[in-house]
Amino acid sequence: MHSSDRDRIVLAAVVFAVLFSQLLLYPGVGTLVEALGADETTSFATSELDASMWFLVAEFAAYVAFVGVWGAASDVTGRRTPFIVAGALAGAVSYAALAAVPAIGSIPFEGVLLIRVVQGAMTIGAFSLTMTMLMDLEGGHGRNMGAAGIAIGLGAALGAPIGGQLTELDPVAPLAGAAVLLVCVGALVTRVPDRSQEHSRSARDLLEGIRRRPSLSIPYAFGFVDRLTAGFFALVGTLYFQETFGVGPAMTGLLLACFFAPFALLQYPMGALSDRIGRTIPIVVGSLCYGLGILAVGAAPSVATVALAMITVGVLGALVSPATMALVTDIAAEDERGLAMAGFNVAGSLGFLGGFLVGGTVASTYGYDLAFLTVGGLEIAIAVVAVPAFLRWSLGRSDRLDHDRI
């Protein structure tokens, strides 16, 4: 096996472990926040939906605030591995601290959210920089990002149902599992050579290089909306399935897996496909159909039809995701990839926040029907708006944008 192929597998395993640990918490998030001290006495969380929303928002707010710091530090120093190890181990400690809260019993929910912020700030460093290490590999940007995508999808597909089962045993069991996994991440990533640029750059030069590539706004915009839909399903979709169809955390995890299983398994072949045919069709056409699929989930009348619609959405998501991430690699210079991928993850984290906040607010105020219509409509809108840019840049079969024409 070629060294790049071996390292691609190891790095994909690291990405998988980080996402798996994150998704363990989602199916039982309502039960978890109650175990961590959220109740009617919490001033800003007057319901299970509110408390769950703020618990998820705290993590992704930290993602947004700190992912750029990790990326810039990596590019400036020309190193990836030490930062990944530090982020993973600190994230493990934070997860363990959250798991200990019910035993301590004296920490207010505001304190829980503060620990959650620290956990998010540390975990995003391990996640984003591992994806950057995949960007550094040879072998095709679509394949590398397809490996990242299949790891993300498998982590989510397996994390959701297993997290639901763990929650049935003990509400804090997913937190303990996440802590153990991040310790493994810190050890595993040291087995891959650090292929980042050996020379260091000043932060000012790095930011200037990114500023000269406004075309990055296109994959960032798609990343934002795509992650918004994921955040929507993680919070609103979870509660929608439980309230509308009367299912528990375990069945909810299986319904989420109906999306994440095909989303994961098709990532690598779809990424390789985008290397051959270009990024336009997978991103634009895929996003348009993806939005329609979201509307179909909201309109499905039974658990069986919801599962079928979620599978369809998962296939379409697999078409869009690796091509969008590969487009970031196409555009960014080699010594700016850490910050470029950090920017993509900022957009994605903002999207998750939007999914939590917009989806949660619309669902609680106007109902689930309008919430599905809003999120599905946004996915369709970004595809329509982006068509002229893709046609003008003539991505076609090109693996890179023609910067001279932008």
Please state which CATH number belongs to domain 3-405. 1.20.1250.20
Predicted local confidence at residue 212, as pLDDT:
62
Predicted local confidence at residue 397, as pLDDT:
40
How confident is the prediction along the chain (406 residues), in pLDDT tens digits per residue? 566 778 888 999 999 999 899 989 888 888 888 888 876 555 566 677 778 878 888 887 888 888 888 888 887 888 889 999 999 999 999 999 999 998 887 788 888 999 999 999 999 999 989 988 888 887 667 778 888 878 887 887 788 789 888 988 898 999 999 999 999 999 999 988 887 665 555 545 545 555 666 677 788 888 888 888 878 887 788 888 888 888 887 788 788 888 877 877 888 888 888 878 878 788 888 889 999 999 999 899 999 999 999 999 989 988 888 888 888 877 777 767 777 777 787 787 788 778 878 888 888 888 889 999 998 998 898 888 877 777 666 444 444 444 333 3
Predicted local confidence at residue 139, as pLDDT:
66
Predicted local confidence at residue 399, as pLDDT:
40
Q: Are 111 and 216 in contact (CB under 8 A)?
A: no
Q: Which two tokens stand for residue 307?
A: 């599962």
What are the Cα distances from residue 38, in Å, to 117, 179, 238, 386? 16, 22, 19, 42
Predicted local confidence at residue 135, as pLDDT:
81
Q: Is 399 exposed, middle or buried (CB count within 10 Å of its CB: 0-12, 13-18, 19+)?
A: middle
Helix 3-23 × helix 81-104 angle, to 10°: 20
Alpha carbon distance 299, 302 (integer Å): 9
Predicted local confidence at residue 213, as pLDDT:
65
112 CB-near residues (< 8 Å, 6+ apart) = 36, 37, 38, 55, 98, 101
Q: pTM score, two decimals?
A: 0.72
Please give the DSSP secondary-structure letter assigned to residue 193. -
